[in-house]
Amino acid sequence: MGDSYLTSKISQCQKEIRLNQSAKSIWMTGLSGAGKTTLGLALEKELFRRNFFIQLLDGDDVRLGLNKDLAYSEEDRTENIRRIAEVNALFNHSGIITINCFISPTNAIRQLARTIIGSDKFIEVFVKAPLSLCEKRDVKGFYFKARQGLIKEFTGIDSPFEEPEHPDLILDTDTCTVAETLSQIMYFILPKVQYYPTI
Ligand code: ADP
């Protein structure tokens, strides 16, 4: 969705000035259990504390509502991300910063999101942890079920995860604590979401 689609006569820039921030889509990608939701929630809280206006978008929530008709085939995963990216474009047009927590397993799917959202607003964050650790954490018990064959097409088990080729930021949740990765992402994100007048 480009600006050309929108009927609104109030520009994104006017809304960003009102909110005193620069709208960006922070896109966290990584295996299930890598730490996307944990970091997304921590980042949301920290940005909100600093008076930013944010919308968190999380895989589980979206699949309960907007995308509840979709499954996990390659086609449905692509449609899942396409819709989420369009939602991002709308939030950004309202001047709102989004934090996205989606496995988004392939380069093609992330490229689709980048194209819809716009390269200037899309910040790709690779939340990185080895599969063995994610499986050991097994936060939701999904890996256990996938190994038993009770869940099909589970990323990392019987569906691929392609590591991002050129992420803007890599957060290594294997070797760093939540507090450490939070400060790394805050350091990187803050200058990008602060509003700087151009005159
Ligand atoms: P995802 O959303 O990627 O599926 P979750 O955030 O639900 O992953 O789970 C990640 C798990 O890893 C949590 O139990 C969290 O406490 C733990 N963890 C350990 N270190 C980190 C870190 N540096 N960042 C994020 N999560 C971490």
pLDDT for residue 199 = 60
Average pLDDT over residues 156-161: 94
Whether 124 and 130 have beta carbons less than 8 Å apart is answered as: no
Centre of ligand 1 from the C-alpha of residue 174, in Å: 9
What pLDDT is stored for residue 5 in this prediction?
63
Alpha-carbon distance of 139 to 65, in angstroms, equals 22
Within a domain: 54: yes
In total, how many domains does the chain have?
A: 1
Domain assignment present for 43: yes
H-assigned helices in 118-170: 131-137, 142-147
| Cα–Cα distance for residue pair 121/177, rounded to 1 Å | 27
Per-residue confidence band for 4, with pLDDT thresholds at 50, 70 and 90: low
The enclosing domain of 104 has a CATH number of 3.40.50.300
Q: Is residue 44 domain-resident?
A: yes
* pTM for the full predicted model: 0.95
Q: What is the mean pLDDT of the chain?
A: 95
Residue 113's beta-bridge partner residues? none
Judge if the beta carbon of residue 37 lies within 6 A of ligand 1.
yes
In a domain, 13, yes or no: no
Show the domain range for 68: 18-191
Question: Between 1 and 71, whose confidence is greater?
Answer: 71
156 lines ligand 1 (CB under 6 A): no
Is 8 within a domain?
A: no
Verify whether ligand 1 is closer than 6 Å to residue 99 (CB atom).
no
What's the mean pLDDT in 116-126? 98
196 is a domain residue: no
Q: Within a domain: residue 9?
A: no
pLDDT tens across 53-90, in order? 999 999 989 999 999 999 988 899 899 999 999 999 99
* pLDDT of the residue at 146: 96
Q: What spacing in Å lies between the alpha carbon of 127 and ligand 1's midpoint?
A: 9
Reply yes or no on whether 25 is catalytic.
no
| Residue 5 resides in a domain | no
pLDDT value at residue 57 = 98
Indicate if ligand 1 lies below 6 Å from the C-beta of 178: yes
Q: How far is ligand 1, taken at its centre, from the CA of residue 139, in Å?
A: 8
